[in-house]
Amino acid sequence: MLTQVADGVLVHESEFVQSNAIVVQGRAGVLLIDPGVQDHEMACLAGDLARAGQTVVAGFSTHPHWDHLLWHAQLGTAPRFGTARCAAAVRDELSDPDAKARITEHLEPTGIADQVPLDLYGLITALPAGTARIPWDGPQVRIIEHQAHAPGHAALLIEERGVLVAGDMLSDVLIPMLGMTETADPIEDYLAALRLLEGVAGDVDVVVPGHGSVGGAGQAPARIELDRAYVLALRDGRVPEDPRIGPAAKPGWDWVSDVHNGQAQRLAESTGRG
């Protein structure tokens, strides 16, 4: 079900780790950002749009991780965009003929492997490096590219609507997940990305993370500070005082503590503290 979060901006939350698909209404149709995870959810989204008389005229993937690169035939054949680095990472992945099989294998423990359609996986068009806005006939959507979490990760600022689409950052349930194997300095890359987001947070009334709850007024700066505190604690070898891990974590999300422990261990080993 689509929920309106701002004028002309709607969100569909998946059953799988609260993944958010974002719909932005334009003049001739909608922009669909990170469209979803499970087959029946994307089909439902396509049906909801059709009943509203809307067609998808453009898509966008915020970064090159499997759950942000999916598509469904019922959503149509609109161009699907990503940053140049994002698209390059996807091309590299798909150059391996076993790439999709590995995604399915990765998903087997989740119980949704047979519900994730991969036939249209990763078919995105690279925007020229440095492109400032998504090319489409609708509200201006500013691209804020950085290298935190994944190569060519983009947050999107829907300026006329006061909405920040954060990709896999600024979540109320997931800690910052560093691109430990994808960058030489994952800590600094993450801190630099947070500074970029901080530069627009004052113009934001709504923040939509890739996973988790939509945040209202004042939530963007608060979530930036929460993410920064976590990253700095990780950098300094301290145990973060973070409500997303440990006893205060959301019920059913205790696995996030395992993610933190593994991340902290890998960072300690890379810096000689492990």
Number of domains the chain contains:
1
Angle at which helix 186-201 crosses helix 219-236, to 10 degrees, equals 160
CA distances to 145, 199, 247 from 231, in Å: 19, 18, 19
List the single range of 26-30, 168-172, 181-185 with lowest mean pLDDT: 181-185
pLDDT given for residue 93 in this prediction: 97
Query: pLDDT tens digits, residue range 68-92?
Result: 999 999 999 999 999 999 999 999 9
Query: pLDDT tens digits, residue range 144-167?
Result: 999 999 999 999 999 999 999 999
In this prediction, residue 183 has a pLDDT band, given cuts at 50, 70 and 90, of confident
Percentage with pLDDT > 90 across the chain: 89
Residue owning tokens 């799988």: 16
Query: pLDDT tens digits, residue range 82-132?
Result: 999 999 999 999 999 999 999 999 999 999 999 999 999 999 999 999 999
Query: pLDDT tens digits, residue range 213-258?
Result: 999 999 999 999 999 999 999 999 999 999 999 888 889 899 999 9
Report the alpha-carbon distance of residue 22 to residue 236 in Å, rounded.
Answer: 35
Write out 194-228 in H/E/C secondary structure.
HHHHHHHHCCCCEEEECECCCECCCHHHHHHHHHH
**Burial call 47-66: b when 16+ CB within 10 Å, e when fewer:** eebeeeebebbbbbbbbbbb
Cβ count near 189 (within 10 Å): 21
- pTM, two decimals, is 0.95
Sheet containing strand 3-6, edge to edge, reads: 3-6, 9-13, 20-25, 30-33, 56-60, 80-82, 125-126
CATH number at residue 189: 3.60.15.10
Question: Closest Cα to residue 23, out of 41, 4, 10, 7?
Answer: 10
More confident residue, 70 or 268: 70
List the single range of 10-24, 205-219, 236-250 with lowest mean pLDDT: 236-250
| Domain ranges, residue 7 | 3-271
Rg of the chain over CA atoms, in angstroms? 18
pLDDT given for residue 179 in this prediction: 79
